[in-house]
């Protein structure tokens, strides 16, 4: 393969990785910090995409970003309220919101499963015009995404060290301790989910605008893809400070895309993406468990053999 082609592939992997990494950062906050597996991620990603698309199509490309993030945080608020104030189990709350979001998304798009944005002014087309003629003109997508990802990583690394951020982390680590520190875990969980879902929606918004099209299925399987990326990132930065771990989440998203791109080169059909991510999630989560079980099995065998000798 020629160099330019590799570079091309690398750039695509980087672009998609960066967009996805925003969802990975959302899960970094909800899953790694708050210890909540937010299964509304798929629907929320699509929600961000459709809100961003509708607002951009109506002629407000810049407004589309905060609009999508706001929609996402409202969705997070609903998920959080269900699980903290209405007695719905955490996983179920996410699932319920996720399926409700399908209807919401269809309603927002005016009962259309797709929206085309070929001629729509988006943050990407704006960046393209701004950079026209400069040496960076070919990388306008990359630049928009890099800015978004950097802002979010910087925000997270600062936020997680504030009292609120620390309380959110403590809620995931030991909710009893939070309560005895006079902090209401209901509040920290709610704030955490609102913020994380706004990232997920931002991710979806940028994904749709970058691809110039919205599809109701844009977000399906996102939670697995993002979780896989998060766990890959955790392999490298799992034990570091929060900033490095957030960077690790972004690296994980990129590596996931690279693995996927390579698999495609080896003639893996595109529809395998979700199976691959599912397998990665299973390996990453059950790996340590199976290793322990394997050790036990070995010990049992060995002691059985020794008993036989006696």
Q: Which of 89, 103, 184, 240 binds another protein (CB under 8 A)?
A: 184
Asked if 168 and 67 count as a contact pair (C-beta separation under 8 A), the reply is no
Q: Which of 126, 146, 166, 278 binds another protein (CB under 8 A)?
A: 166
Render the burial of 180-204: b for 16+ CB within 10 Å, e for the rest: eeebebbbbbbbbbbbbbbbbbbbb
Nearest to 210 by CA among 273, 126, 122: 122
CA distance 282 to 16: 22
Shorter beta-carbon distance to another protein: residue 99 or 162: 162
Q: Which of 173, 217, 240, 293 binds another protein (CB under 8 A)?
A: 173
CA distance 45 to 127: 23
Asked if 210 and 64 count as a contact pair (C-beta separation under 8 A), the reply is no
For residue 17, state whether it binds another protein (rule: CB under 8 A).
no
Query: Total residues contacting another protein (rule CB under 8 A)?
Result: 21
Shorter beta-carbon distance to another protein: residue 77 or 261: 77
Shorter beta-carbon distance to another protein: residue 34 or 67: 34
CA distance 172 to 188: 10
Shorter beta-carbon distance to another protein: residue 72 or 185: 185
Q: Which of 183, 201, 227, 253 binds another protein (CB under 8 A)?
A: 183
For residue 83, state whether it binds another protein (rule: CB under 8 A).
no
For residue 61, state whether it binds another protein (rule: CB under 8 A).
no
CA distance 25 to 198: 11
Residues that bind another protein (CB under 8 A): 161-164, 166-167, 169-170, 172-174, 176-185
């Amino acid at each position: 393969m020629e160099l330019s082609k590799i570079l091309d592939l690398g750039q695509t992997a980087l672009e998609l990785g960066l967009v996805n990494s925003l969802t990975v950062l959302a899960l970094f906050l909800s899953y790694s910090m708050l210890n909540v597996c937010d299964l509304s991620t798929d629907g929320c990603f699509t929600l961000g995409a459709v809100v961003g698309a509708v607002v951009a199509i109506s002629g407000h490309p810049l407004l589309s970003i905060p609009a999508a993030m706001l929609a996402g945080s409202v969705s997070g608020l609903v998920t959080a309220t269900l699980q903290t104030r209405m007695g719905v189990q955490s996983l179920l709350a996410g699932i319920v919101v996720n399926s409700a979001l399908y209807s919401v998304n269809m309603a927002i798009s005016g009962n259309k499963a797709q929206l085309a944005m070929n001629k729509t002014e988006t943050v990407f087309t704006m960046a393209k015009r701004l950079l026209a003629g400069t040496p960076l003109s070919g990388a306008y997508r990359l630049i928009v995404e890099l800015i978004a990802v950097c802002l979010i990583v910087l925000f997270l690394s600062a936020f997680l060290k504030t009292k609120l951020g620390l309380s959110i982390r403590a809620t995931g680590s030991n909710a009893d301790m939070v309560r005895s520190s006079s902090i209401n875990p209901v509040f920290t969980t709610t704030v955490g989910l609102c913020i994380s879902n706004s990232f997920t929606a931002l991710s979806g918004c940028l994904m749709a605008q970058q691809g110039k099209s919205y599809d109701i299925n844009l977000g399906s399987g996102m939670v697995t893809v993002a979780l896989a990326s998060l766990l890959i990132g955790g392999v490298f930065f799992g034990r570091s400070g929060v900033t490095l771990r957030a960077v690790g989440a972004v690296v994980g998203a990129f590596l996931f895309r690279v693995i996927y791109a390579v698999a495609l080169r080896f003639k893996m059909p595109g529809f395998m993406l979700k199976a691959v991510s599912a397998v990665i999630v299973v390996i990453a989560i059950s790996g340590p468990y199976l290793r322990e079980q394997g050790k036990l099995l070995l010990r049992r065998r060995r002691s059985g053999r020794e008993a036989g000798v006696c």
